[in-house]
């Protein structure tokens, strides 16, 4: 009888080890998202009486190309860098004639054709890049006008990603999902 109990305990312990090792946790899954990009209030120009013209590109990037996207100077990207055309970005333009309220918002839906494009379909990362007028910041590498987000469903647990573009850069408003052990 004690032999049966010992075997039962061993089976339970082995199961617990696999569960703690992540075998029972979230599995990586690349999914399309609804992404809403809104201009933050710091961009509104009281003197000019309006919003500046802002451009935001969303690009889906695979692991091997990620370093190039992370290091590219934002000024170069918006001044004819081939990556802009080659990456098939989803472009959002915020014209400077929008009323103050509500703050201008542009979106890409999870059903948009971009998510089925060969460059987008299985890519692991989203790179969001903004051209913010009168921004003076870093030239390459870490630049707050660029955000790199994982497309892994385990990171978000929601299909809606909310982004705000402010005078200081891009802010991701959607919190990441808590880490599972």
Residue 12: is the preceding peptide bond cis (ω within 30°)? no
pLDDT, mean of residues 40-63 = 92
CATH of residue 103: 2.60.40.4150
Structurally, how many domains does the chain consist of? 1
100 lies in a domain? yes
* 135 located within any domain: yes
- Domain span including residue 133: 27-172
Its pTM stands at: 0.82
Sequence-ordered list of residues with C-beta below 8 angstroms from that of 37, at least 6 positions apart, any chain: 56, 58, 92, 105, 106, 107, 128, 163, 164, 165
Indicate whether 58 belongs to any domain. Answer: yes
- Cα separation, 171 vs 169, whole angstroms: 7
Q: What is the pLDDT at residue 138?
A: 59
Higher pLDDT: 6 or 114? It is 114
2 within domain boundaries: no
Give tens-digit pLDDT for 90-144.
Answer: 999 998 877 788 899 999 999 999 999 999 999 999 999 999 988 876 556 789 9
Whether 82 maps to a domain, the answer reads yes
**Per-residue pLDDT reduced to its tens digit, 58-75:** 999 999 999 999 999 999
The answer to the question of residue 178 being in a domain is no
């Amino acid at each position: 009888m004690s032999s049966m109990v010992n075997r039962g305990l061993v089976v339970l312990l082995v199961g617990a080890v696999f569960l703690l090792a992540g075998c029972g946790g979230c599995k990586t899954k690349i999914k399309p998202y609804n992404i809403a990009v809104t201009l933050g209030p710091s961009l509104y120009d009281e003197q000019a009486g309006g919003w500046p013209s802002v451009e935001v590109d969303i690009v889906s990037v695979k692991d091997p190309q990620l370093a190039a996207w992370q290091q590219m100077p934002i000024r170069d990207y918006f001044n004819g860098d081939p990556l802009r055309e080659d990456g098939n970005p989803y472009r959002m333009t915020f014209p400077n004639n929008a009323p103050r309220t509500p703050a201008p918002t542009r979106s890409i839906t999870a059903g948009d054709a971009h998510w089925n494009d060969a460059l987008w379909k299985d890519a692991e990362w989203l790179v969001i890049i903004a051209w913010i007028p009168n921004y003076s910041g870093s030239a390459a590498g870490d630049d707050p006008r660029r955000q790199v987000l994982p497309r892994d469903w385990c990171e978000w647990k929601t299909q809606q990603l909310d982004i705000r573009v402010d005078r200081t850069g891009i802010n991701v408003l959607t919190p990441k999902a808590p880490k599972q052990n």
